[in-house]
């Protein structure tokens, strides 16, 4: 075996043995519910599905709309999955960097980074 292959085999075996030991030692908790605690009702599968899938899906839709809608309001074209012929800047100037302010004086902060320290 080459040295690199031997190191790979050694590391893989260490990870597998360590993971196996962790899984062998871990087991389900055998404790009962304490006496002072209530015994809650079972959760319906529909409610669990709505909470675990519905809320993240709703957040995904809201975030997507928050990103796309301002550009659509400005009249920008948006084709999801289409061939992009140029880079897209959502919510930025419609004519690209030509509409950005240029520095008008030496002390101006517009126009990007400066090479002076």
Domain boundaries of the chain, sorted by first residue: 44-77
Q: For residue 12, is pLDDT > 80?
A: yes
pLDDT tens digits for range 46-81: 999 999 999 999 999 999 999 888 888 887 776 666
Rounded to whole angstroms, how far apart are CA atoms 89 and 71?
9
Distances (CA, A) of 44 to 1, 24, 48, 51, 100: 56, 32, 6, 11, 55
What number is the average pLDDT over the span 87-108? 64
């Amino acid at each position: 075996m080459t040295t690199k292959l031997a190191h790979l085999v050694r590391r893989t075996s260490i990870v597998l043995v360590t993971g196996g030991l962790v899984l062998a030692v871990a087991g389900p908790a055998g404790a009962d519910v304490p006496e002072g605690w209530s015994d809650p009702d079972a959760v319906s599968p529909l409610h669990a599905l709505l909470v675990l899938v519905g809320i993240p899906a709703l957040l995904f839709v809201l975030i997507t709309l928050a990103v796309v809608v301002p550009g659509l309001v400005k009249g920008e074209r948006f084709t999801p999955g289409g061939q992009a012929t140029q880079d897209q800047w959502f919510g930025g100037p419609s004519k690209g960097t030509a509409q950005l302010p240029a520095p008008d004086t030496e002390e101006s902060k517009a126009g990007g980074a400066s090479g002076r320290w």
